Structure 1
Amino acid sequence: MPLAGPANRQGRRAADSICGRRTTPQAPVLGTAIVRVFGLTAAVTGPNQATLRKAGIAHEVVHTHSAHHAGYYPGAEQIHLVASFAPDGTLLGAQAVGRAGVDKRIDVLATALRAGMDADDLAELELAYSPPFGSAKDPVNMLGFVAQNVLDGVMPQWQAWDLDQVLENSLVLDVRSRAEYGGGHLDGALNVPHTQLRERLDEVRDAAEGRPVSVHCASGVRSYLATRILRGEGIDARNLSGGWLTLAAVHPES
């Protein structure tokens, strides 16, 4: 994992040691790396989910698909972010893919990881904002917000890799628009656009037949709203982390 940055710092330490100067200890290597593949950029910092699972480290995973700058400003591109958090909220690692703004976010997250920051810290980071460069709620802030909701129990979630179990044991509620639903959906999913949910709660209850309700939309935002509505009505509901975008990436055949 040590790439050019740690190697150059080791060279600096060697030169300082030869000259009898003070040296600083080598910090643990986080494995921060970035690569461009045609028009896409992919970047990582810290361990990924597979590494954490193999090491037996408990963690929660959150997915977001925010725009790299204000959505109303021309040229906004989605950044697909995945981050892992310890049960106490400490950031453990993050990965990102997108066409713009990926390097900026992974560098912020690498700095946060080095500093031992948690979800609350990410939510409160004061990052440069202007519509051509970012949003008032930066993608890094959004990671913090979502992680806070998950870790505080405000938004129970289900993951794309739980799909088989979810289909077997719960009602899948698709809160996207009818047009989105018509473009592709899970077999057996009930489609109730989130703007109609309050008026169709009895329909959801009847379809659930006492089972939990597993909610999803395209990216996780509308289904978050729907999940809060359902839970406020006493219905056992969970939100799909990252929505249909993440589900389709994990299960392209679905």
Structure 2
Amino acid sequence: AGPTVPPSPEEAEELRAMYWRHVASPVPQRFGGQSGRTLPHDGLTEVLPGRAWVVPQLLSEAECAALVEFGEAFGLEPAQEASGVQGLRTSKRTTNLCHPGLAALVGPRLPETLLQAVEAARPHTAVRGVHPNWRIARYDQGDAFPAHYDQADCLTVQGGHGKERFDSSHTLLISLSHRSAFDGGATRFWPTGKCDDTAVDVELPCGHALVFEQRGLLHAGLAVRSGVKHIAQVGILRGAPRGLASAPSVFRVGPGVAPR
């Protein structure tokens, strides 16, 4: 195969127009919210087979409120130019927040059914908890994070038998806000990698978590139409196969989306 030919300015503009028309339209598959499938308060909900799940009530309402207060006090910043997403992500979030205590709280609460599903999706490694580096984000009215692929994170731990490396394979995203506090702001998935009618929207109740694969699953945080939405996000860690290091992970935007 030859090199990829970049689209012309006219083609790029049409892709952008198609993308924004798509995200402005409702999709037939919805989980949560007033018009979507009910998300139970017990048991795992599979959103995309082998790729995305909802975990009910991972944090209590009081824990969510405390985490929002903590994140706001720590400081929430807009995207920086060096990150490659300036002009794309408009939410504000923490930078360089290392919170091992939160990782130690959340990791053991991940249900066994989720661990089995995640390990089946990426065999030959075991889930080793969650990364201590967290992102707490606030979406004000109009804020969004257009189509992109999540990057993977790694962690090197010094143990009794030397250094051990862990790599994240899935994103854990926890809703910290009541649905009554904002309108819009669903997470939209495109399992085919294209903005088509396979899209699925997920609206999480407060304290529920969305778990989905990194790198290969195109998704977006749709715009908040009114109110304010807070989330917490972290990577689920896996033990890397011996002698194998993951390739560097590079931030990628979705089709029809480009930083402005």
Q: Answer whether TM exceeds 0.5 for this pair.
A: no
Q: TM-score, normalised by structure 1?
A: 0.24
Q: TM-score, normalised by structure 2?
A: 0.24
- Higher relative contact order by CA 8 Å / sep ≥ 6: 1 or 2? 2
Question: Whose radius of gyration is greater, 1 or 2?
Answer: 1
Q: Which has the higher strand share?
A: 2
Q: Which has the higher helix share?
A: 1
